[in-house]
């Protein structure tokens, strides 16, 4: 039986809003541009798009209408990208006028329009669109606005002609701007481009996607293309929040709490930075030129979904996943004897900070506090960024400043899991140089850095792993407490093998028929989880044994063992081990098994300590 489709609570809620406000019949369809007067006052669509590209839509969400003034912030963003902040600010200000959209709000001295959301500022902004001819500028502008919607858009010729032939006030504004040299050349050119940009046909679904592009810092959630640089998206939203709704701007940001922009054809776009974009279409307008239903829907959405920008709860998840001490967690190099003892006593001087998620000031600041609180007890700090999804330049700076402070008090610091992070790399290199990057982030894996810290600790405490010629049988960890006679008996039953680096000693899944003592060199233990790449689980050095667990349970090999360097090993077949009893040497069996139990107990304890430290 097929499963019933479950309706989304979000779509369901939007339908409820639509039903609620469809009944509202206040407001008048704009007629000052004659062609707009043909709109059906009952048209009503709502769309919400998330920054990860999910679009919810109800009602007439695919009905086309002209974008009108909602083109203003978009063209402003494009002008910032094309000619840069300085040039743009020289022509258009960012002060709210608190006046109607067609007010002639120019600075009395310079003639500079107060902001780009009123017609004067918008016409000046259209004058900044680059291109060698009016056609080229027009095509370019249409393409770029299409990038915000993630589809090709077209202009509505009837509306364009209608406005061009009746837009005397806008024509007057353009000539006034020419008089002040805010626009240069023929004022009819930017004026024409302005009329054309206002006549671009969109749906309220398009508006939601455009708004989500702004919410996502300039990246279109559908095409995944960057349309604006994040700082320009931020500038656009700032000016939209203070000026986007003309003489309703103050009330809008007060009540709805989102930067928003309306157009006389009945469109409305609102943005909740970082979260979502809203597009609404309903032609009847209030006295201030904003869609009546549009404002009511925004208001309800804001209240019911808690979208008010200045009334939102903390959304930052703590960046510190856990702190571990080198006493609890070890590198993959398994150690024996004196080394193990030193790490057990001194390992606490190594601290590992596992960070995750998004690093911004508010998520990083508690990490800094926690590192500093424990710094007095540390000699080594590893900060692992492998699970960090995103970090900005500000957090790079804070991380490096933290590192400087630690280094100043003699603590060694490693940043790991950051090899692919271009932002961090650029920052470190700009602050130091390539050498600084290698020094700070030279170990990409947390495990390599941890091993380096352990080695430094061991050196400091004078217990270094023996150099070749290796660890003879009598010093092997499983032979602790053996008498010289017992060692000799055991030695007679061993086969010495020399293997070169990369040789496979044991294959996962194969039958177990022997155990090995590692005399010289290094072996790695590898696991291959289903469908994933092979992983190095641990590394063993001279004096340790492997394949010995099967001595107890005789089960097939659970992992692959491979030589990491040239190695020398001693093989004890299980057959020879079993025969010991018949040969009157069962005490050898007992001693080996007892030592093995000791080694396994120590490993189990340290695994438990590591698990506990992950709390
Ligand atoms: N094209 C319209 C005008 O300049 C745009 C105004 C608006 O949408 N508020 O009159």
pLDDT, one tens digit per residue, over 18-60 is: 999 999 999 999 999 999 999 999 999 999 999 999 999 999 9
Q: Residue 412 has what pLDDT? A: 92
Confidence band for 464, pLDDT divided at 50, 70 and 90: low
**Whether the predicted pLDDT of 466 surpasses 70:** no
Phi, psi of 136 (to 5 degrees): -65, -40
**Using CA atoms, how far apart are residues 220 and 340, in angstroms rounded to an integer?**
54
- % of the chain surpassing 90 pLDDT: 74
Ligand 1 pocket residue status of 200, Cβ below 6 Å: no
Confidence band for 465, pLDDT divided at 50, 70 and 90: low
- Residues 223-234: what's their mean pLDDT? 96
- % of the chain surpassing 70 pLDDT: 98
Confidence band for 313, pLDDT divided at 50, 70 and 90: low
**Whether the predicted pLDDT of 229 surpasses 90:** yes
**What is the chain's mean pLDDT, rounded?**
92
The answer to which of 223-227, 527-531, 570-574 has the lowest mean pLDDT is: 527-531
**Using CA atoms, how far apart are residues 124 and 116, in angstroms rounded to an integer?**
8
Whether 258 and 113 share a structural domain: yes
Of 287, 224, 301, nearest in space to 255 by CA: 301
Task: Give yes or no: 360 in active site.
Answer: no
Q: Which two tokens stand for residue 586?
A: 């069962």
Which residue out of 170, 198, 269 has the highest number of ligand 1 atoms within 8 Å of its CB and is therefore the one to mutate? 198
C-beta neighbour count of 582 within 10 angstroms: 8
Active-site residue identified among 209, 264, 297, 561: 264
Confidence band for 575, pLDDT divided at 50, 70 and 90: very high
Residue whose CA is at the smallest distance from ligand 1 atom 2? 68
Q: Which domain does 404 fall in, by range? A: 320-460
Higher pLDDT, 334 or 62: 62
Counting Cα atoms < 13 Å in the Cβ hemisphere of 402 gives 24
**Whether the predicted pLDDT of 569 surpasses 70:** yes
Whether 304 and 330 share a structural domain: no
- Residues 448-476: what's their mean pLDDT? 83
CA dihedral sign, ordered 21, 22, 26, 31: positive
**Distances 456 to 328, 346, 420, 586, 604 between C-alpha atoms, Å:** 17, 11, 27, 42, 25
Q: If DSSP codes are grouped into helix, strand and coil, which group holds residue 517?
A: strand
**Using CA atoms, how far apart are residues 561 and 556, in angstroms rounded to an integer?**
13
Residue 1 belongs to some domain of the structure: no
Whether 184 and 230 share a structural domain: yes
CA dihedral sign, ordered 436, 442, 445, 450: negative
Whether 280 and 421 share a structural domain: no
Active-site residue identified among 246, 353, 427, 516: 246
Active-site residue identified among 72, 413, 471, 549: 72
Q: Residue 61 has what pLDDT? A: 97
Residues with Cβ within 8 Å of 317's Cβ and at least 6 positions away in sequence, in order, are 356, 357, 358, 363
Whether 347 and 291 share a structural domain: no
Q: Residue 1 has what pLDDT? A: 61
> Rounded to two decimals, what is the model's pTM?
0.76
Residue whose CA is at the smallest distance from ligand 1 atom 4? 119
**Whether the predicted pLDDT of 463 surpasses 70:** no
Whether 284 and 380 share a structural domain: no
Residue 467 belongs to some domain of the structure: no
Ligand 1 pocket residue status of 283, Cβ below 6 Å: no
Whether 179 and 49 share a structural domain: yes
Q: If DSSP codes are grouped into helix, strand and coil, which group holds residue 513?
A: coil
Higher pLDDT, 436 or 288: 288
Owner of token pair 């004067």: 120
Query: What is the per-residue pLDDT across 205-223, written as a single tens digit (0 to 9) for each?
Result: 999 999 999 999 999 999 9
* Domains contained in the chain, number: 3
Pairing of the two strands 320-325 and 350-359: antiparallel
Task: Give yes or no: 239 in active site.
Answer: no
Residues with Cβ within 8 Å of 114's Cβ and at least 6 positions away in sequence, in order, are 93, 95, 96, 97, 105, 106, 107, 120, 121, 243
Residue whose CA is at the smallest distance from ligand 1 atom 6? 69
With beta carbons less than 8 A apart as the criterion, state whether 228 and 273 touch: no
CATH code, domain carrying 33: 3.40.710.10
Residues with Cβ within 8 Å of 571's Cβ and at least 6 positions away in sequence, in order, are 494, 495, 496, 497, 514, 515, 516
Atom of ligand 1 nearest to the CA of 170: 4
**Using CA atoms, how far apart are residues 611 and 605, in angstroms rounded to an integer?**
10
Q: How far is the CA of 192 from the centre of ligand 1 (A)?
A: 13
Whether 42 and 70 share a structural domain: yes
**Whether the predicted pLDDT of 376 surpasses 60:** yes
Pairing of the two strands 535-540 and 320-325: unpaired
Task: Give yes or no: 264 in active site.
Answer: yes
Q: How far is the CA of 18 from the centre of ligand 1 (A)?
A: 26
| Strand segments (E) across 229-302 | 260-262, 267-272, 276-281
Query: What is the per-residue pLDDT across 249-264, written as a single tens digit (0 to 9) for each?
Result: 899 999 999 999 999 9
Confidence band for 467, pLDDT divided at 50, 70 and 90: low
Q: Which two tokens stand for residue 226?
A: 């960057």
**Using CA atoms, how far apart are residues 337 and 472, in angstroms rounded to an integer?**
14
CATH code, domain carrying 541: 2.60.120.10
**Using CA atoms, how far apart are residues 356 and 187, in angstroms rounded to an integer?**
54
Of 361, 328, 319, nearest in space to 347 by CA: 328
Query: What is the per-residue pLDDT across 322-354, written as a single tens digit (0 to 9) for each?
Result: 999 998 998 988 887 788 888 989 999 999 999
Whether 514 and 605 share a structural domain: yes
Whether 245 and 191 share a structural domain: yes
Residue 475: DSSP 8-state: G
With beta carbons less than 8 A apart as the criterion, state whether 131 and 140 touch: yes
Q: Which residues pair with 571 in a beta bridge?
A: 495, 516
- If you write DSSP's letter for every residue of 169-226 in order, what string do you get? HHHHHHHHHHHTTSS-S-THHHHHHHHHHHTBEE-HHHHHHHHHHHHTTTB-TTT--B
Which residue out of 66, 155, 163, 244 has the highest number of ligand 1 atoms within 8 Å of its CB and is therefore the one to mutate? 163
Residue 189 belongs to some domain of the structure: yes
Q: What number of residues does the chain have?
A: 615
Residue 2 belongs to some domain of the structure: no
């Amino acid at each position: 039986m097929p499963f019933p489709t479950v309706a989304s609570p979000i779509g369901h809620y939007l339908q409820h809003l639509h039903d609620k406000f469809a009944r509202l019949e206040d407001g008048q369809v704009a007629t000052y541009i004659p062609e707009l007067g043909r709109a059906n006052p009952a048209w009503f669509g709502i769309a919400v798009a998330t920054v990860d590209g999910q679009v919810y839509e109800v009602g007439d969400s695919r009905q086309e209408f002209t974008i009108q003034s909602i083109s203003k912030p978009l063209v402003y963003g494009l002008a910032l990208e094309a000619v840069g902040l300085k040039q743009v600010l020289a022509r258009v200000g960012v002060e709210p006028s608190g006046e109607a959209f067609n007010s002639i709000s120019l600075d009395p001295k310079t003639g500079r329009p107060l902001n780009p959301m009123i017609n004067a500022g918008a016409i000046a902004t259209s004058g900044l669109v680059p291109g060698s001819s009016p056609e080229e500028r027009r095509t370019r502008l249409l393409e770029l606005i299409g990038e915000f919607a993630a589809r090709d858009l077209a202009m509505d010729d009837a509306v364009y002609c209608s406005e061009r032939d009746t837009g005397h006030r806008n024509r007057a504004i353009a000539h006034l701007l020419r008089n002040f040299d805010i626009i240069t050349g023929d004022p009819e050119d930017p004026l024409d481009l302005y009329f054309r940009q206002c006549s671009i046909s969109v749906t309220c679904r398009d508006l939601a996607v455009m708004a989500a592009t702004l919410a996502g810092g300039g990246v279109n959630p559908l095409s995944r293309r960057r349309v604006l640089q994040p700082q320009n998206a931020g500038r656009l939203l700032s000016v939209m929040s203070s000026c986007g709704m003309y003489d309703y701007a103050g009330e809008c940001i007060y009540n709805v709490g989102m930067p928003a922009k309306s157009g006389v054809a009945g469109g409305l776009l609102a943005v909740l930075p970082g979260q979502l974009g809203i597009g609404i279409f309903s032609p009847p307008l209030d006295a201030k030129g904003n869609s009546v239903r549009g404002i009511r829907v925004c208001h309800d959405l804001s209240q019911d979904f808690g979208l008010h920008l200045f009334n939102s709860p903390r959304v930052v998840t703590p960046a510190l996943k856990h702190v571990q001490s080198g006493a609890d967690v070890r590198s993959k190099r398994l150690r024996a004897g004196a080394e193990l003892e030193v790490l057990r006593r001194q390992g606490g001087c190594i601290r590992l900070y596992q960070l995750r998620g998004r690093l911004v000031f508010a998520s990083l600041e508690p990490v800094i506090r926690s590192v500093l609180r424990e710094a007095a007890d540390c000699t080594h700090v590893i900060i692992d960024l492998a699970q960090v999804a995103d970090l900005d330049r500000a957090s790079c700076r804070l991380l490096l400043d933290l590192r400087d402070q630690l280094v100043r008090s003699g603590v060694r610091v490693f940043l790991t899991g950051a090899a692919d992070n271009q932002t961090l790399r650029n920052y470190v290199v700009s602050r130091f140089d390539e050498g600084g990057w290698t020094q700070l982030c030279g170990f990409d894996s947390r495990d390599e850095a941890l091993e380096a810290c352990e080695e430094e600790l061991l050196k400091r405490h004078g217990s270094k792993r023996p150099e070749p010629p290796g660890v003879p049988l009598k010093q092997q960890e499983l032979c602790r407490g053996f008498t010289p006679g017992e060692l000799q008996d055991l030695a007679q039953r061993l086969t010495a093998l020399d293997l070169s680096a990369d040789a496979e000693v044991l294959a996962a899944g194969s039958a177990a028929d022997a155990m090995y003592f590692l005399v010289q060199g290094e072996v790695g233990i590898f696991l291959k989880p289903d469908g994933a790449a092979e992983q190095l689980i641990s590394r063993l050095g001279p004096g340790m044994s492997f394949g010995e667990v099967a001595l107890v349970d005789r089960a097939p090999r659970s992992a692959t063992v491979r030589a990491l360097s040239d190695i020398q090993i001693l093989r004890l077949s299980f057959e020879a081990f079993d025969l010991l009893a018949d040969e009157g040497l069962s005490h050898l069996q007992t001693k080996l098994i007892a030592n093995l139990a000791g080694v396994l107990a120590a490993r189990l304890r340290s695994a438990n300590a590591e698990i506990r430290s992950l709390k």
